[in-house]
Structure 1
């Protein structure tokens, strides 16, 4: 069995401590409500040397195909609120943030109004307050018509402000032609 001498062990401990001294491992408690959308999109402060240029404008589409867990807000939808909150907190003007949400696949179920969800006995749509907050912050929301047909979702079933597109592919293509980039 090989042993490390005490001097080397102390040296290794000192190196590890120096390397981690400035690190912060705060975890989920570091995330706080933002100022733009207070109920959703919690953010953490980040010390960074890379500043966002003054007058930056964002035109981004978020493509979401997965539903949230039953009885919870769709985490992917919440990402739009987080994007808005963290950029406003770092000096981007709200009017310079132009986001779109393209919904398809199982996420189709997350953009239905309360009456449609109740009629289909799906429980409560916890996304409704978040959808309203996104719409209040000028987020455009599109539902894939092909997914809507598959899940038997009619235009009347949609939360007010959600638009039916021919397809998610069509919505994404048209938004890209308008200068939107796709959030990976």
Structure 2
């Protein structure tokens, strides 16, 4: 019985629009298609920051970082144009390891960095990925060890303060 339930949940999680929107992050960010009773107004712009402190399970991609891909794809899939979406992911704490180059991550864990393809796809889409310099320094992670395109900030606190001044809201989950 439990196996059938898990397969059903898996099948539901795979449901997504049959069309892939321009700018969608195809391998990540699955969402449900919703018939909107209240459509998203055309004048609404989405400048959203995500805060990620917990690392992914070794070898897996981060479900927390994947939230940014999900929001990107969900908005595109429901008619929001690419130019109205600006996302940022602020990484700190143990999640700092998720933005390490695969070779560095693999030396530390013995497994590939499952979040690396997600990080690269986000950056390619224009999502800012910002790592806390305080966490990186504390964990011994240098700028050279980061996936290309990941930005190093003074701290996660400073990054969030700057993003808020630039009009970004903080996604609560």
Query: Could you tell me how far apart the structure 1 residues matched to 2:110 and 2:95 are?
Result: 13
Task: Provide the residue aligned with 1:168 in structure 2.
Answer: 156
Partner of 2:57, secondary structure, is: coil
Task: Provide the residue aligned with 1:87 in structure 2.
Answer: 75
TM-score scaled by length of structure 2? 0.86
Residues 55, 93 of structure 1: 8 Å contact kept:
no
Residues 66, 105 of structure 1: 8 Å contact kept:
yes
Q: CA RMSD in A?
A: 1.5
Task: Provide the residue aligned with 2:145 in structure 1.
Answer: 157
Task: Provide the residue aligned with 2:44 in structure 1.
Answer: 56
Task: Provide the residue aligned with 2:115 in structure 1.
Answer: 127
Query: Could you tell me how far apart the structure 2 residues matched to 1:107 and 1:121 are?
Result: 14
Task: Provide the residue aligned with 2:11 in structure 1.
Answer: 29
TM-score scaled by length of structure 1? 0.81
Query: Could you tell me how far apart the structure 1 residues matched to 2:123 and 2:155 are?
Result: 20
Q: Deviations over 1:70-109 (max 9, x none)?
A: 2211001111111011100111001210000000001000
Q: Report deviation, 1:120.
A: 2.5
What 5-or-longer segments of structure 2 have no aligned partner? 1-7
Paired residues in the alignment total 159
Partner of 1:79, secondary structure, is: helix
